[in-house]
């Protein structure tokens, strides 16, 4: 779809949404897709939004993953990968055979419930077993490929592993980099990712870089406790957005 197919108002609002989404990602290390995709889908067709955001998210993950690569906790990331791949393959098969409204509702309820649980202060502080990589990695791969919004499952898993904020940012960025590569390959195979999507992505890249820089600077002034609260609040917003989508 050509850029001139969209009005100036559509593109201006889309630019503002991308700016906000990646500013938040610069702070927290995730959340851009969860914030941008439901909002952009109100302005642009979803088959355009999902692959473009996949490319922008992939670029953002590369920025964080490369910059902080020494802080990636591979022993927590690697157990997720086989299950993420399996989930992505299942999603490509189910893409045209699934009730998306029902899945969106179930996903929103789950994310919102978990976020409220963590905000309640009842969440245990100890580390949880890496066995959580199986369900959360698999569901994350499935939902990421279907909707571009599976990041919370990776975030939840790494949050359960009790990583410090720098290790969390680097590890979740590396996971998004790998997950994004799988999804982009799938979109190429199915024809969702064409040169029109590449053109829109190129237009969004400068906005993404500026927003990530600004958010990353603000991140350095956030305490560990406030950072954890921010993650939970972003998950609340994500859950609500998916329920209202």
Higher-pLDDT residue of 66, 232:
232
Tell me the average pLDDT of the chain: 80
Query: Exposed, middle or buried: residue 9 (CB in 10 Å: 0-12, 13-18, 19+)?
Result: exposed
Q: Is the pLDDT of residue 125 over 60?
A: no
Residue 126 pLDDT > 70: no
174 Cβ contact partners less than 8 Å away, ≥ 6 residues apart? 61, 65, 69, 72, 77
**Where in the chain are the domains?**
3-244
- In contact, 230 and 28? CB cutoff 8 Å: yes
Chain center to CA of 35: 9
pLDDT at 195 over 90: no
Long-range Cβ contacts of 184-190 (<8 Å, 24+ apart): 184/51, 184/54, 184/55, 184/58, 186/88, 186/91, 186/92, 186/145, 187/50, 187/51, 187/54, 189/92, 190/92, 190/95
The string of pLDDT tens digits covering residues 70-97 is 778 888 888 888 999 999 888 878 766 7
| Structure-model confidence comparison of residues 175 and 15, the more confident one | 15
Q: What is the mean pLDDT of residues 214-223?
A: 72
Please tell me the distance from the alpha carbon of residue 209 to that of residue 222, in angstroms, as a whole number. Answer: 21
Question: pLDDT band for position 2 (50/70/90)?
Answer: low
Q: Encoding tokens for residue 72?
A: 């990636």
Q: Does the pLDDT of residue 55 top 80, yes or no?
A: yes
23/66: higher pLDDT: 23
């Amino acid at each position: 779809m050509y850029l001139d197919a969209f009005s100036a108002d559509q593109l201006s609002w889309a630019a503002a949404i991308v700016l906000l989404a990646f500013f938040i990602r610069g702070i927290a290390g995730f959340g851009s897709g969860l914030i941008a995709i439901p909002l952009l889908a109100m302005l642009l067709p979803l088959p355009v939004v999902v692959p473009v955001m996949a490319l922008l998210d992939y670029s953002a993950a590369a920025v964080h993953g490369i910059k902080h690569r020494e802080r990636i906790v591979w022993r927590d990331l690697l157990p997720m990968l086989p299950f993420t791949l399996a989930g992505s393959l299942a999603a490509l098969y189910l893409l045209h055979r699934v009730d998306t409204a029902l899945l969106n509702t179930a996903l929103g309820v789950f994310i919102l419930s978990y976020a409220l649980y963590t905000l309640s202060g009842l969440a245990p502080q100890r580390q949880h077993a890496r066995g959580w990589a199986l369900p959360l990695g698999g569901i994350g791969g499935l939902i990421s490929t279907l909707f571009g919004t599976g990041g919370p499952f990776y975030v939840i898993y790494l949050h359960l592993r009790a990583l410090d904020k720098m290790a969390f940012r680097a590890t979740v960025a590396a996971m998004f980099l790998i997950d994004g590569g799988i999804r982009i390959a799938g979109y190429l195979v199915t024809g969702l990712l064409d040169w029109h999507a590449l053109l829109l992505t190129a237009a969004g890249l400068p906005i993404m870089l500026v927003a990530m820089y600004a958010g990353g600077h603000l991140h350095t002034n956030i305490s560990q406790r406030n950072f954890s609260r921010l993650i939970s609040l972003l998950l609340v917003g994500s859950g609500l957005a998916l329920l209202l989508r």
